[in-house]
Chains A and B, each alone.
Chain A
Amino acid sequence: NAGVTQTPKFQVLKTGQSMTLQCAQDMNHNSMYWYRQDPGMGLRLIYYSASEGTTDKGEVPNGYNVSRLNKREFSLRLESAAPSQTSVYFCASSDGQFYYEQYFGPGTRLTVT
């Protein structure tokens, strides 16, 4: 099993550009999450999907949109990138919500100039 995969691994964007971060899991998990990790701030939840067909905002959703394409895939879109969105983005999945162990992807390092 590949677990949780993310693409791309690195990306540089100019302010105002858009992009989509892709995430897929092969563990048949119901719930999927997007986090951002910034120095000194730990991981903060951007959006999550408790099950296929549902998405909900997390702690820092502004400037992002998500799509739960199917049970396996959960994408994160930046419509108009800003320097404040420079961060490392992690996708995760779990059998159920939050109190279940979460399995993380390798991360995407995004720089917005």
Chain B
Amino acid sequence: AQSVSQHNHHVILSEAASLELGCNYSYGGTVNLFWYVQYPGQHLQLLLKYFSGDPLVKGIKGFEAEFIKSKFSFNLRKPSVQWSDTAEYFCAVNGFSGGYNKLIFGAGTRLAVHP
């Protein structure tokens, strides 16, 4: 079955530290990949997405993600985090499975950035 794994459930960083959140998926076909973010008290919103082309995707607020097809990974990165990046981050994968189109979310990673 199609699945998405986010290996870090909780991450704590100091401001200016670099961030990398892991996302691996299990699916053999063509996929579309997303990172969504949920800031405290706010709606989930799209951070970035990959459909095709350059595997290094840039999103809002200085985030980027790299699609590595051979590793089935789509890790999220930011060179220098800010306190305002404190949020929960969800990786999601879209592909066909069981005869229909699906979007599968990972369990999420809670990031806490300390000043």
**Chain A residues packing against B (C-beta within 8 Å):** 3-4, 35, 40-45, 56, 59, 90, 92, 97-99, 101-107
Contacts and interface: CB of A to CB of B under 8 A. Distances in A.
Given A99-B94, A104-B44, A106-B43, A40 B105 contact: no
Given A41-B107, A101-B46, 4 more contacts: A42-B4, A42-B107, A97-B101, A106-B43
A45 B105 CA distance: 9
B88 to A, nearest CB: 10
Given A40-B9, A104-B43, A104-B45, A99 B106 contact: no
Given A99-B51, A99-B94, A90 B44 contact: yes
Given A40-B9, A104-B45, A106-B43, A98 B105 contact: no
Contacts of A90: 44
Contacts of B94: 98-99
A3 B106 CA distance: 24
B107 A44 contact: no
A37 B108 CA distance: 10
Contacts of A102: 44, 46, 103
Interface in B41-92: 42-46, 49, 51, 90
Top 5 nearest A-B pairs (CB, nearest first) are A42-B105, A104-B44, A43-B105, A99-B32, A42-B107
A70 B34 CA distance: 28
B108 A98 contact: no
Given A40-B9, A42-B90, A43-B90, A98 B103 contact: yes
B106 A42 contact: yes
Contacts of A3: 43
